[in-house]
Each structure stands twice: as C-alpha cells, then as structure tokens.
Structure 1
Amino acid sequence: MGHVLPRNSGPSNFSHGWTSVQVAMVVTFSITFTLSTASLVIRYVSSAVIVKKLEIDVILITIAWGAALGHFLGLLLVFPYGLGQHVWDTDPAELPEFKKRLLAALAPYVVCPAMTKLAILSVLYRISPGRWFRIFTYSLALIISVYTIVFIVILAGPCNPIEPNGSTCIGIGAKTHAALNITTDVIIIILPLPTLWKLQMPFRKKLVAGGILTLGSAVLLASIARAPYVAMLANNGDFYYTLAKSAVWSMLELNLGIVCSNLMRMKPFISRYFPRLAARLGLSLDDSAGYREGTTASHVRVAGLSHASQLHRIKGGEGDGMPEDSHSENPHAERYGISMDNRSLELDNRSTESILRQ
C-alpha cells in the first residue's frame, strides 16, 4: 500500500472532505440495508405469526444482517483515515490507524455472504429427499464454512493489514474470496433445477417455484460487477480509493443477498396479506389444490388401476371387494410395477410444496 506523488501540481488535500465514492457507499448502503431490514421483518412475521415455527434460515440470515451492518460501520470508522480518498490526498502518518480499523471492517464482510449462502442451503436441502441431493447440499455447506473460517484466520494472521505485506495479501485473498463466492453462487442457482424439472406440476407453477428457489443467488450479478475492482486491489497505487469503489458493490452484494434469501420464504406473507397477488403468481396456500397439481402421473394411474382391479375382482368373484394385500410393504409396486423413482418424485413434489408454503 505504497504512496505515490500527487497527480496534480496543487497541494494535497488532508482535510478528508467526503468524495463522491464515499457518498456512493453511504447512499448505496442506506437504500439496500433498508430493503434488507424490511425483508427480514417480513421473514420474522412469517415465522412468528403465520408459520409459527423458528427455522435455522431465520437465525442464519439474522447473523448475516448483523454482519452487513458491522461491515458498513467498520468502513465508516475508516473514512477519517483515508478510505475513499485518493492516495495523494491522504496523510501517510495515518496509515497505521487505517490498517487497524480496516481489519475490523473486513471480518464481517467474510461472514455475511457465508451466512446468507448457508441460510439458502438450509431451505434447498428440504426440497428433495434424494440421498445424493442432500449429500451434495451438505458438502457445499461444509465447503463454504471451511473457506470462510480459513479466510478469517488468514485475516488475523498473514493478511492482517498491520503486517508489512498485509495489503498485498489482502488483494490476493480478496480475489480468491470473490472467485469462491461467485462459484458457489452459480452452484446454488443450479442446485435445485434438476429436482424442479422432474416435478409433475404445471409449467407456469414450475417456473414460479424455480424463480423462488433460485432468488437467493440473484446477487451473483453484484458479485461479478465487484470482481474487477477486487482484481485491482493487489499492488494498486491508489488502494484507498479503489477499495472504496469495491466497497460500494460490497454493500449491494451483502444486502441484496439478504433480501433475496428472505424473498425465498415470502410466500406465506404474500398469501396471507396479498391473496390476489398470490393467486396471480400461483402461490395459493390451498394445500389440497397444490398437492393435486403436484401429484405425479404415476400416482394417478395407480389410483385408477387400484379401483379398476377391485371392481374386476368383485365381478370375477375373486373376493369381497376388501383392499388387497394390506400387509404388503408396497402393494402398488408389487402389483403394477411402479418404480421407486416415481415414489421419489412424489416425495420431491411434497417437499417442494412444503418449502414454498412456509
């Protein structure tokens, strides 16, 4: 984080008047944090009043919300020491204090997206009972947790801004962290799509369900937009100003991630307080109707075959019309060759309907 000579021949500005990028940071955070707070309040209402159940995603997204606030407050405390100023407008004597305060702002940034992703995965985990789907979801959650812990440890050690090479290390670490965040965002977007594709439900409802379940990683665009600024941090002569530009996108990334995660679980709130909008979007909470739409074709065929078989047995004198083989573990599979894949699809339907209702 070396200093360079002033670009202009005029005197350096050590008064630390607010720059346009500092204003952009405050305005961006104020707007997006208001949205994230509103979405979190709605999530609390859904959890406490409508669903009446505290789930882990509520806890995780609350931690993410607190980390986003902590990140912004930490950056605000760095403003007087040069963050958002051009390097030629800063006082070299303030560099040690800049580094100390920067560390307090960076740790919450690492925590926030991790908590948001884990909150989303805790929801996606329940959309399918498939063994491999759940193993993959668990594995992805573990990977996110591990690299988050690693980055926090690195920040406290070799990438500590106070260390001699800390600034260069932060630049390299920031690029790695951004790449991991973008990669995991893409995976989380793709993760529920195969399950949704298999569901036996109207295409319009399938699109709505897919949109809801992939909302949580819509923040990917902000992460990608931030990436070029992160790439410039390593060995950048105007580190103070470039870091602030990156932070503007960080505000957008963190808070929109929280908003999108909460939107995934907003169906009960919309259905309760905006029923017309819910009906228009196909978000009705009519469980019986929803389940009928979600029932697999094979399940319908099984019901029809069972009824026809009983009539045939009565007419043929083979029985008295009582249900057949009630002791059998899976009479439909044994008598009509229904595969367990169809049963799995039916369970997927029920799981997805359950998630979208809550």
Structure 2
Amino acid sequence: MAPALATNPDTTPAMPPPPGQVSNLVDPPSQGYATVIAVVLYMVIATPCVVARLYTRAVVHKKLWWDDWSSVLALIGLYGFCCIPLIGLQYGFGVDEWNVSQSHLQEFNKLFSIIEIVARISIFFTKLSILLLYLRYFCPSGARRGWIFYSTLFVIAFNALYCIALVLVVRLQCVGQPQAVVQAGTCINHYLVLVTASAINVVTDLLILLIPLIAVWHLRLPQRRKLGLLLVFAVGGLGCLASVARLAYQVPEASNKNQTQILTLVSLLALAEHVIGIVVGCMPLWPALYRHLFPRRHSSLQSPQSGSLWKRTIGHVTVRRRPDRWGSSSALVTETERGVGEEREMERVGDKDGTSEAIKERPSGSTAK
C-alpha cells in the first residue's frame, strides 16, 4: 500500500469549520482592529498615570521609594504584554480557529505560553506597587508592627510564591514530552493555568482591597471624611471585578474548541485587569499632583464654604512617620486649609481591643507633649 500523503500544516486548518462555513486561510475575518485599539488604549491609559506618579514623588515629595519603582516595572511588563498580542495577529489572535492553519496554531500556542509568563510577572509587580504603598502609608519605619504590616507582607509573599510557581508550571509542563508535542505547544494545559491564575487573582485582589478598608474603618473620623477615604480605597474593587469577570468568562468557555478567539479575549481581559491595577496604585498621588500643578486654583478653594468636594470629604491626608500605640500604622495628619490656620492630627491610638483609633486635635504651632 502506498503511504498516506502527509498534510501540509501551512494549508491545513487547525480544526474543521462549523456546519455551513468554509475555512479561509487567506483573508479570514478577524478581530485584529479591535485588538489593536484595545492594546493602544491600555497603554495610553497606564503610561500617563505612572509618569504622573513618578513626577509627583520625585518633584513634589522629593523621594522615590520601592512602590514607585515597582510601578515602573509593572508598566514595562504591560508594554511587553501588549506587544505579544500584536505580534500574534499574524498567527491567529482574534481569528476563528478553523481559519487558522496548523502551523500558525503552533506559533499561537507558543506566544500564548509567553503571555502567561509575562502577564503573571507584570501583574505581580502591579500588585506589589500597591502593597508597598500600603506599607509606606500605614507602616513607616519606627512604627510598631501590627496586623496591617504582617497582612501586607503575607499577601506580598503569597503573590511572589504564586508567581514563581505558575512560571515554573508553564516552563516545565513540556519537560519529558515528545518533541512533536513540544514544537506544537500543546503540552501546556492553558485552561488549567488560566483558571487557576484567575481564581487566585480574585482572592489576592480581595485581600488587597480589604486591608486598607479595614484600617480606615477603624479610624475615628467624621463620617463624611471616613466615607471619602473608604471610597478612595474602594476604587480597588474595580480590580476585583475585572478578575471575577475574567474567571466567569473562562469557566463556561472551557469546552469551546475555538480557542484562538477565546484566548485572545482572555488576554485582553487580563490586560484590562493589569491596567486597572496600575491606575488604582497611582490614584493616591493625584491630589498632591493637582495641588502642585494648580496652586492658585487650590488656594482659591480653601475656604470652608467654597472648598472642593475632595477637601470637604477627605481633606489633605499626609503621613507622619511616628510610632503609635496601636501597633502598625503611622500617624495620619489631616491638614485644613492654611487660611484657617489649623492642623488636625489623627493619631492611631489603641483601645481595649486594639483595633480602633481616636483623633487628637491641636492648633498648628502648639508643641506636642
């Protein structure tokens, strides 16, 4: 018998088309334009936020810390993450799998394996920048270390170990597999990696959201001011929603064989989650940047009657490095407008259960005991 003719992977569809459709390997319908627009939009949103953060820290605060450098690494990772789908447009990103050749599907799988690694590392630095920001705000050097400090360190360590574990899983799944399977990139269980990553992301995002909310909740502040601080940190809930949305999309689509389309959308959802994390990590610096860029407008809004919504709600919150009796957080200072000439100092003071805080007010210029 004559040997069966080998199929050409460059001209053979990666999967049979659905009934009533024909494979098109020459000029297939594609979501390429939408992918390009989304990727460019993500970079346009994230870049100014990080630049504004660095400018505020370097020029206004005169000091950069590890959370700022982590945001830079997160932005670099975002650029790398965004470039991979753009490269993958020629290999099936945004194209139905029956319109993708077998050879292009192999390249698609290899690129998506790279995405899984780059995304995990870059998202780790995004979360690290937020968690280090918590340490800088709530746990400065000299303060006794309490639950906020150790909770934040736990989440940092958990994210680091999880990132390392996922990268090793992606890199080692093909060890010992036949060469043909390795070259095809099919030795990696993308579904298992993605669902696991999404589920853990939901948990870590929830922890990152709860740490500052619990800390602020125990501040003895005027209700409006406490609500304002809670709203600022609650913006981090957008990251949780993005993680939940990605997980909710992936689970029902696990049995869908049109993986080139599914994984493309999963990549865009992961990018959205990444960008939200970068923006959330930069938001606490925006008021200081506004006061620096528009000092006259800021000073014109300093009377209690005409104060801005931001000032009326949460005031001007800064951090004073001073150990407190509560155990973990620095003293937070709320400064009212200079025209009023009064400084309100909010010090974290432990009560009987060690969880609540009191406000201590004194006129500016007085000497602390």
**TM-score class, shorter:** 0.7 to 0.9
Q: CA separation of 1:288/1:244 partners in 2, compared to 1, >3 Å: closer, same or farther?
A: closer
Residue in 2 that maps onto 1:332: none
For residue 83 of structure 1, the aligned residue among 78, 88, 93 is 93
Corresponding residue SS for 1:54: coil
Contact 1:168 1:234 in 2 (8 A): no
Q: 1 or 2, which has the higher helix percentage?
A: 1
Q: CA separation of 1:205/1:166 partners in 2, compared to 1, >3 Å: closer, same or farther?
A: farther
For residue 284 of structure 2, the aligned residue among 264, 278, 302 is 264
For residue 183 of structure 1, the aligned residue among 197, 203, 209 is 203
Give the drift of 1:25.
2.1
Contact 1:120 1:261 in 2 (8 A): yes
Return the alpha-carbon distance in structure 2 between the equivalents of residues 105 and 16 of structure 1: 25
Contact 2:93 2:261 in 1 (8 A): yes
Is 1:13 aligned to 2:24, yes or no?
yes
Contact 2:14 2:99 in 1 (8 A): no
Q: CA separation of 1:16/1:77 partners in 2, compared to 1, >3 Å: closer, same or farther?
A: farther
Residue in 1 that maps onto 2:357: 345
Return the alpha-carbon distance in structure 1 between the equivalents of residues 309 and 74 of structure 2: 32
Q: 1 or 2 for the larger relative contact order (CA 8 Å, sep ≥6)? A: 1
Contact 2:348 2:357 in 1 (8 A): no
Scaled by the length of structure 2, the TM-score of the pair is 0.73
For residue 156 of structure 2, the aligned residue among 138, 141, 162 is 141
Return the alpha-carbon distance in structure 2 between the equivalents of residues 76 and 238 of structure 1: 19
Return the alpha-carbon distance in structure 2 between the equivalents of residues 297 and 7 of structure 1: 64
Q: CA separation of 1:214/1:86 partners in 2, compared to 1, >3 Å: closer, same or farther?
A: same
Q: 1 or 2, which has the higher strand percentage?
A: 2
Q: CA separation of 1:11/1:123 partners in 2, compared to 1, >3 Å: closer, same or farther?
A: same
Unaligned runs of 5+ in 2: 1-12, 176-180, 319-332, 337-341, 362-369
Return the alpha-carbon distance in structure 2 between the equivalents of residues 61 and 196 of structure 1: 24
Deviations 1:262-307 (A, max 9, x none): 1122221122224249843024369673594443698xxxxxxxxx
Return the alpha-carbon distance in structure 2 between the equivalents of residues 280 and 143 of structure 1: 38
Residue in 2 that maps onto 1:356: none
Give the drift of 1:94.
2.5
Residue in 1 that maps onto 2:118: 108
Deviations 1:181-212 (A, max 9, x none): 01111111111222212212222221222222
Give the drift of 1:8.
4.3
Q: CA separation of 1:163/1:131 partners in 2, compared to 1, >3 Å: closer, same or farther?
A: farther
Letter in 1 for 2:134: L
* Amino-acid identity (%): 21
Contact 1:103 1:155 in 2 (8 A): yes
Give the drift of 1:166.
4.2
Return the alpha-carbon distance in structure 1 between the equivalents of residues 106 and 82 of structure 2: 20
Q: CA separation of 1:165/1:297 partners in 2, compared to 1, >3 Å: closer, same or farther?
A: closer
Moved more, 120-129 or 46-55: 120-129
Contact 2:218 2:355 in 1 (8 A): no
Larger radius of gyration: 1
Contact 2:14 2:101 in 1 (8 A): no
Corresponding residue SS for 1:265: helix
Residue in 1 that maps onto 2:170: 155
Contact 1:83 1:244 in 2 (8 A): yes
Give the drift of 1:86.
0.8
Return the alpha-carbon distance in structure 1 between the equivalents of residues 309 and 183 of structure 2: 57
Deviations 1:73-109 (A, max 9, x none): 1122122111221111011132332233333332211
Q: How does 1:1-358 map to 2 (within 5 A)?
A: 3-17=14-28, 19-20=30-31, 22-125=32-135, 126-128=137-139, 129=143, 130-158=145-173, 162=182, 166=186, 169-232=189-252, 234=254, 236-274=256-294, 275=298, 276=301, 279-282=308-311, 283-284=315-316, 289=335, 292-295=343-346, 345=357
Give the drift of 1:232.
4.9
Residue in 1 that maps onto 2:325: none
Return the alpha-carbon distance in structure 2 between the equivalents of residues 211 and 10 of structure 1: 50
Unaligned runs of 5+ in 1: 299-337, 351-358
Letter in 2 for 1:289: E
Q: CA separation of 1:349/1:209 partners in 2, compared to 1, >3 Å: closer, same or farther?
A: farther
